[in-house]
Structure 1
Amino acid sequence: MTVPVAPLATRGIGEIAFAESLPEVVTTVFWWLTHLGNPYLLLACVALAYLLGDRVGISRRGAAFALVLGLCAIGLTVGLKHLFGLPRPPISYRDGLGFPSGHALGSTAFWGGVAVLANRGAWRQRLAVAAAVVVTVSLSRVLIGVHYIADVVAGVAIGTAFLAAVFALGPGFATETRDGPLADPTHRHVTALFGLALVLGLGALLVAPGESELFLGVGTAAGGVVAWHRFGERAATATIELTGRTLAVGGGGLLVALGAMSGVAEFVESGLLIVVVAVVGGVCLLALPLAVARGATVG
């Protein structure tokens, strides 16, 4: 006797019924918590960390590396979603594909990468905090009804495997450390990761040719390869004094670059235009420490 097997598209194990039974206040709380894995929020956070440098507990080169981890996660997520072609749960308020979870994969790559690259606090504590954030984001995706448990488990697993491979093949892990970073990427490592992000984005475009997120990622990675190769080392070591002038220039530059990049990705249909704006935006973000430091010197 053959035991019938449910198709993978209906991969739930009862979590959707549980999510539907939750009080509205619980769903609302997790709807806010899910933004800890929002790619635009993560981009803004790491861009600010890159501008401020060591002041927030991660080197400027480490922040650049974390930024590119996020770009790689975009290519991986969108490419795999279209490769599998599995829908979201029927109660999802969002359209599109659901396997693997982009929030779970992206938050694993980003927050896990930050925990490895940060230079403050004991590394075990950093990894524990990152794991807690990833679990919270993953749980929130299920409880607000936009993913099955299988989606987030796959996202975390893929994100973890990718993160381990990148650090093992790139900067390598420190064998003896307590409070410092577990890995310290060089200028060459950051450049190479920008190249990998570009390859992943272009590969994903083969199976998902109309995705605006991919155009944004490809453009940012392309601009990043050139910009970081040309002046990344100088940007990484630029000294910025925190004054009203530098905060205004730096903050204004961040808002303009991030606003333009996210705006075209959300509202523009032309892939070429999104790529062009992303290239310029990526170059501007990486050059911002140099521009702010030079402006402070001139002023």
Structure 2
Amino acid sequence: MTRGLGWFDAFREVVPEWAVVVLGLVTQLGDVWFLGVLVGTLYWIETDDRDDIAAVAGLLLAGLSLITALKHVFALPRPERVLVEVEALPAAVHPLYEATATATGYGFPSGHALMSTIVYLSLAEYSDVSTRRRRFLGAAGLVTAVSLSRVGLGVHYLVDVVAGVAVGLVFLLLAWGLLNRYPTHRGTLGFGLAVGIAAAALVTSRTDPDAVLLVGASLGAFAGWQLALLARGLDAGQGPIRADRRLAVRAVAAGLVIVSLVGATAYYWPVSLLAGSGALGVTVAVLVPVPELYHTERVRRLRQRSLSGSQ
């Protein structure tokens, strides 16, 4: 049974060839690299509600594992069609076309639709920019634009993007229910969800390389966030670690995860994918607490002294 609804050929006849470049740029709004840069930038610059942005980062990782698992469960191909043949475009735009308007791998459900739903709606839920209504209208507009661009480019059927959005919405309803029930632990719960779904994706996909790397990244993010909270607690006057049960649990959890990641990297290096997953996890674990450390009181004082000395 086809997933197409029979309208693509008519659409292709009326759309000019240059539209493929526009659609290719729009579709980047739902690409992993763009969503990662967006959430990472917000995570760095946010100082008051970094816990909420951390939760969004955790949901992003969880969404990547979720789509990896679902694509392998259904294993349905992409459409055998394109909006424009690359030969019909000027040679100067061939690299841009191949980078933005083509896709490989399984097609159902749409990863761009699912990921843009998770990230943009989560940012609308947990940010405080403008009004809640405007945030959700803007997020819905971005999700719609990304989804239609995938269909317009011919890399997905309409059913694929509808399913991607639907799965993303169901996932968010369940995840938000958990995160909003424990608002002071949103970051930890978000990264915890990422670890759990990454483990499920690893099994479901039969150790697909992307799933293996996502396990390492999710574990590293979870450990790094515990280190960030540990630094925040010490900066706020809590501690020493051994005398504070919460800080001790965070320290032990982060330590065990990082030791496991380092062990995997060292044992399997340099040939195994597991070594790469471990190295990725260690890198993420180091990067996640950096913004929190950068804004601690002690570091702020050191920066002020350094600036005063240079003057």
TM-score (norm 2): 0.73
- Deviation of 1:48 (Å): 1.2
- Number of aligned positions between the proteins: 248
- Deviation of 1:63 (Å): 1.1
The CA distance in 2 between the partners of 1:139 and 1:237, in whole Å, is 48
- Deviation of 1:119 (Å): 1.2
The verdict on how the C-alpha distance between 1:200 and 1:143 changes in structure 2, with shifts beyond 3 A counting, is same
Corresponding residue number in structure 2 for 1:271? 273
The CA distance in 1 between the partners of 2:118 and 2:233, in whole Å, is 22
The verdict on how the C-alpha distance between 1:67 and 1:15 changes in structure 2, with shifts beyond 3 A counting, is farther
Corresponding residue number in structure 2 for 1:177? none
Is the CA contact (8 Å cut-off) linking 1:15 and 1:142 kept in structure 2? no
- Deviation of 1:217 (Å): 2.1
The answer for unaligned runs of 5 or more in structure 1 is 1-6, 173-183, 240-267
Instruction: Name the amino acid aligned to 1:13.
Output: L
Is the CA contact (8 Å cut-off) linking 2:55 and 2:189 kept in structure 1? no
Counterpart check, 1:83 vs 2:85: no
Is the CA contact (8 Å cut-off) linking 1:65 and 1:185 kept in structure 2? no
Instruction: Name the amino acid aligned to 1:44.
Output: V
What is the 5 A alignment of 1:111-126? 111-126=120-135
Q: 1:203 aligns with which of 200, 203, 224?
A: 200
SS at match of 2:18: helix
Is the CA contact (8 Å cut-off) linking 1:238 and 1:289 kept in structure 2? no
Percent of matched pairs sharing the same residue = 34
Instruction: Name the amino acid aligned to 2:219.
Output: A
Is the CA contact (8 Å cut-off) linking 2:61 and 2:214 kept in structure 1? yes
Q: 1:38 aligns with which of 27, 31, 51?
A: 31
206-215 or 281-290, which deviates more: 206-215
Corresponding residue number in structure 1 for 2:260? none
Counterpart check, 1:48 vs 2:38: no
Find the structure with the greater CA-based Rg: 2
Corresponding residue number in structure 2 for 1:162? 171
Counterpart check, 1:146 vs 2:155: yes
218-227 or 149-158, which deviates more: 218-227
- Deviation of 1:115 (Å): 0.2
- Deviation of 1:237 (Å): 11
- Deviation of 1:203 (Å): 1.1
The CA distance in 1 between the partners of 2:293 and 2:178, in whole Å, is 33
The CA distance in 2 between the partners of 1:122 and 1:205, in whole Å, is 39
The verdict on how the C-alpha distance between 1:128 and 1:238 changes in structure 2, with shifts beyond 3 A counting, is farther
The verdict on how the C-alpha distance between 1:36 and 1:238 changes in structure 2, with shifts beyond 3 A counting, is farther
The verdict on how the C-alpha distance between 1:96 and 1:238 changes in structure 2, with shifts beyond 3 A counting, is farther
Corresponding residue number in structure 1 for 2:91? none
Counterpart check, 1:286 vs 2:288: yes
Instruction: Name the amino acid aligned to 1:218.
Output: V
Corresponding residue number in structure 1 for 2:89? none
